């Protein structure tokens, strides 16, 4: 009988944190914008999203806690830069979703 592997809780918990962070359209938009431009200023997000600063701050804190962005202070303002994880994970996840969307979903027999 094959020995069952013990799950790596640290890795599993981080995966859940990343997926939860990406599971919101506002956070996804923030991250995609940061990736597309290399970084994004909070003032750009204010104009683009039309949300309260506190709401944007809430979303960026979740992205930061997931390890998807770095937050840098520039005087009174903030700039958000995607991490290597974000630059690698988001395109891979988008590709996976595209492949799942076109995959044959019939059960294997």
If you search the block for the tokens 């701050």, which residue do you land on?
57
pLDDT value for 31? 97
Does domain 21-102 bear CATH number 3.40.630.40? Answer: no
Give 10-residue mean pLDDT values along the chain (109 residues): 56 90 96 96 94 95 96 93 94 88 75
pLDDT value for 3? 53
**pTM for the model:** 0.82
DSSP for 22-83? HTSHHHHHHHHHHHHHS-EEHHHHHHHH---HHHHHHHHHHHHHTTSEEEEEETTEEEEEE-
């Amino acid at each position: 009988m094959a020995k069952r592997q013990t799950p790596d809780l640290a890795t599993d918990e981080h995966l859940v944190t990343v997926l939860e962070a990406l599971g919101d359209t506002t956070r996804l938009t923030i991250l995609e914008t940061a990736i597309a431009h290399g970084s994004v200023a909070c003032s750009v997000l204010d104009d683009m999203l039309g949300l309260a600063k506190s709401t944007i701050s809430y979303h960026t804190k979740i992205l930061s806690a997931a390890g998807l962005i770095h937050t840098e202070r520039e005087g009174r303002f903030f700039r958000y830069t995607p991490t290597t994880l974000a630059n690698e994970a988001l395109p891979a996840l988008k590709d996976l979703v595209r492949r799942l969307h076109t995959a044959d979903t019939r059960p294997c027999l």
